[in-house]
Every structure is written in structure tokens, then in C-alpha cells.
């Protein structure tokens, strides 16, 4: 029991550290991708190639003057960014980061916990995340912040419905809510064990899930909650110092976890093509699979950034119309189509 707790504790520490590191360097990657797309250089002063820029940004947030408005609700003002950061970090515990390692005859699964309702857990925690934004915007006692918070809650609720319906079609096909089981069902890929990833069978579900992931992470073109042109900064207008840093950091962590969930559900998770044809031991397959998994995550993080610097944001009425009049009907159609195909082909 003690050994199990120690192993789980080490795994939690590793995932926590990796999550924070990826989120920190996502800010660096965001600037470099933007610079590349706009024919600029990007950060290049803090360290070689600007690699120490995230550390400089973190130090800046810690040492900036912290301002809490006199007219704000101080307790809720502090609770908002804390809640956003907490819920962002909680979602990673059910993601299968790799398969199984065998060390000294003992089995070590590279997943903190394998809940048989893992998808529901992710949705539940993600839905709590909206409270961090809502509480922060309302407690600021600033009209721009309140409008941003209301936009965020309406947007996240609207697109969570479509995302949930997209997942229902995937559950109809896989018959499980466990993220690890969904990954294992996609094992093999092309090669001697021909087994295509779920994106081949659920292309429409993947597209709906991807669009909803953009909306859930408040990423352009769905960044209406912090729309600078209208709301100065949206729900975090009154925030400064590390409290603002927590909100911004939570957004990048959500982007990282969303990329991990997309990779798990639709792109094979830790599986990779020809994995059973290499003649390697299971431990090496696991290590290589984990590398492929993080490669898929990096690709989707780049895709988030690529879209941000390519497409302008929607008007708010366009955002709501897309969510309610297009995404939900498409998701319902996808469920009906999946059920029909399942009945025909058993």
C-alpha cells in the first residue's frame, strides 16, 4: 500500500511539473508562432533564442504591484483565479499519459487514476472551471468584468452541450467512459494489426469536439470573455500581479489538457503506427508511445496558436448562433448517424 502511494505520489508530482512546464513554455511558443506567422523574430533577449522568457514573465508577475479594488469582494476576488487554476490542474489526473511499465516484476500504469467514468469526470471538472471566471468577474465590481464573466459562462455552457453530444456518439461506438480503455481500443494502428483511430470513424464528432474545445478554452476566435476591443480585458480587467498570471496560466493548462483529451479520444492516445511490428519490449513500446502522445499534444497546441493568429474573433451573436443553431444540430445528427451505422454493421 505504501509503495502504491509512493508511486502515485511520484506520478502526481511528475504530471504536475510537466503540466506547469508545458503551460509556461506555451507562452513562449505562442509568441514564436505569432512571430513566424507575421514574419517577425519574437522573443530573443532573455537567454539563448529567448528560452528564458517564461521565467522572466513569471518573475515579473510575482514582483508586480498587487492591486485589489476597494469596492471589490476581497474573498471572492482572491478565490476566482485560485479556482480557475485548481480546476485546470485537476483534469489531468484521468488522462492516460502512457501504457504500462514493468519494473522488477511490478506493473506501473502511467496514469494517476483510471476512473470508469473518466470522460464524465473531465466534463464535471471543466464545468466547475466557469465558476472561477464568473466569480472573478462578478467580485471585481466592474461592469466590463461582469459582462466578460457573463459571456464566458454563456459561451462555456452553450458549447459544453455540443461537446457532450459529440462524446455520446463516441461512447456509442466504444462502449466505455474510461479514457484508458478508449486508448487501448485504438492500439495497433496500421501494420500487422490493422486498427484505425477513432477520428476515422468519427470525423464529424472530432470536428465538433475541436471547435468546442476552442470555445471552452476561450481561445480565438472564441475569446469574447476577454475581448480587448470592447471590454478592455474582460473578466480579469481588475486583476494584476500573480492573480492575473493564474488566469492566463490556467488558459494554457486548459489548452494542454484539451490537446491531451483530443489525442486520447480521437488520435489513438499513446498508440502509434506499426507499434506491434518493431519487435521491441513492452517497456520500450510504452516509452515511445508516451513520446508520440506528447508529440500529438504539441501538434494540437500549435494548431490552437495557428488558428489564433489566422482567424478574427466572432461577434457575440455569431458565436451564440454557431453554438445553438449549428453545433448542437450537427452533434445530434452525428449521434443518429452513429447509432444507425452501429445497427447496420453490428
pLDDT tens for 244-266 read 888 888 889 999 999 999 999 99
- Coil, helix or strand at residue 98: coil
How many angstroms separate the CA atoms of 204 and 185, rounded?
20
CB 99 within 8 A of CB 110: yes
Residue with cell 500500500: 1
Q: Is 241 left (phi over 0), alpha (psi -120 to 50) or beta?
A: left
The pLDDT of residue 226 is 76
CB 27 within 8 A of CB 54: yes
Closest C-alpha among 241, 228, 269, 233 to residue 99: 269
Q: Sorting pLDDT into bands at 50, 70 and 90, what band is 207? A: very high
Residue 195, beta-bridge partner list = 189
The pLDDT of residue 203 is 92
How many angstroms separate the CA atoms of 203 and 201, rounded?
6
CA distances from 194 to 185, 206, 297, 304, 307 (A): 12, 21, 23, 30, 33
The pLDDT of residue 238 is 86
DSSP symbols for 123-171 = HHHHHHHHHHHHHHHHHTT-HHHHHHHHHHHHHHHHHHHHHHHHHHHHH
| All residues at 6 or more sequence positions from 10 whose CB lies less than 8 Å from its CB, including other chains | none
The pLDDT of residue 193 is 60
Predicted confidence (pLDDT) at residue 233 exceeds the cutoff of 80: no
Q: Is 300 exposed, middle or buried (0-12, 13-18, 19+ CB in 10 A)?
A: buried
Predicted confidence (pLDDT) at residue 137 exceeds the cutoff of 60: yes
| pLDDT (average), residues 33-41 | 89
The pLDDT of residue 116 is 86
The pLDDT of residue 192 is 56
Predicted confidence (pLDDT) at residue 173 exceeds the cutoff of 70: yes
CA 58 to chain centre: 21
Kindly provide the residue ranges of all beta strands, DSSP E only, lying in the chain, ordered along the sequence.
100-103, 106-109
Q: Is the dihedral of CA 157, 162, 165, 167 positive or negative?
A: negative
Q: Sorting pLDDT into bands at 50, 70 and 90, what band is 304? A: very high
The pLDDT of residue 221 is 84
- DSSP-derived secondary structure letter, 67: -
| pLDDT (average), residues 311-327 | 87
The pLDDT of residue 191 is 58
CB 231 within 8 A of CB 149: no
Residue 61 grid coordinates = 508577475
How many angstroms separate the CA atoms of 40 and 57, rounded?
20
| pLDDT (average), residues 30-51 | 88
Predicted confidence (pLDDT) at residue 298 exceeds the cutoff of 90: yes
The pLDDT of residue 279 is 75
The pLDDT of residue 263 is 93
Amino acid at each position: 500500500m505504501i509503495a502504491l502511494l509512493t508511486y502515485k505520489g511520484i506520478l502526481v508530482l511528475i504530471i504536475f511539473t510537466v503540466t506547469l512546464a508545458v503551460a509556461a513554455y506555451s507562452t513562449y511558443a505562442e509568441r514564436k508562432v505569432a512571430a513566424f506567422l507575421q514574419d517577425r523574430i519574437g522573443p530573443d533577449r532573455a537567454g539563448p533564442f529567448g528560452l528564458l522568457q517564461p521565467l522572466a514573465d513569471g518573475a515579473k508577475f510575482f514582483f508586480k504591484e498587487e492591486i485589489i479594488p476597494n469596492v471589490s469582494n476581497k474573498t471572492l476576488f482572491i478565490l476566482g483565479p485560485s479556482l480557475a487554476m485548481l480546476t485546470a490542474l485537476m483534469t489531468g489526473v484521468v488522462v492516460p499519459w502512457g501504457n504500462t511499465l514493468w519494473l522488477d516484476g511490478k506493473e506501473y500504469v502511467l496514469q494517476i487514476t483510471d476512473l470508469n467514468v473518466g470522460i464524465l469526470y473531465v466534463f464535471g471538472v471543466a464545468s466547475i472551471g466557469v465558476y472561477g471566471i464568473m466569480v472573478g468577474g462578478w467580485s471585481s465590481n466592474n461592469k466590463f468584468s461582469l459582462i466578460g464573466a457573463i459571456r464566458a459562462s454563456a459561451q462555456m455552457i452553450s458549447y459544453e452541450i455540443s461537446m457532450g453530444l459529440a462524446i455520446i456518439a463516441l461512447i456509442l461506438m466504444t462502449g466505455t467512459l474510461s479514457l484508458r480503455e478508449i486508448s487501448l481500443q485504438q492500439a495497433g494502428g496500421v501494420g500487422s494489426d490493422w486498427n484505425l483511430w477513432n477520428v476515422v470513424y468519427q470525423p464529424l464528432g472530432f470536428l465538433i469536439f475541436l471547435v468546442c474545445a476552442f470555445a471552452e478554452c476561450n481561445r480565438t476566435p472564441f475569446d469574447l470573455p476577454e475581448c480587448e476591443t470592447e471590454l478592455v480585458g474582460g473578466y480579469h480587467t481588475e486583476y494584476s500581479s500573480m492573480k492575473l498570471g493564474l488566469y492566463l496560466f490556467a488558459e494554457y493548462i486548459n489548452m494542454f489538457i484539451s490537446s491531451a483529451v483530443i489525442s486520447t479520444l480521437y488520435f489513438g492516445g499513446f498508440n502509434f503506427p506499426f507499434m506491434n511490428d518493431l519487435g521491441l519490449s513492452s517497456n520500450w513500446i510504452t516509452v515511445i508511445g508516451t513520446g508520440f502522445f506528447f508529440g500529438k499534444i504539441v501538434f494540437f497546441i500549435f494548431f490552437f496558436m495557428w488558428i489564433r493568429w489566422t482567424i478574427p474573433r466572432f461577434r457575440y451573436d455569431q458565436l451564440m448562433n454557431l453554438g445553438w443553431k449549428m453545433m448542437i444540430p450537427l452533434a445530434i445528427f452525428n449521434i443518429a448517424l452513429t447509432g444507425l451505422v452501429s445497427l447496420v454493421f453490428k
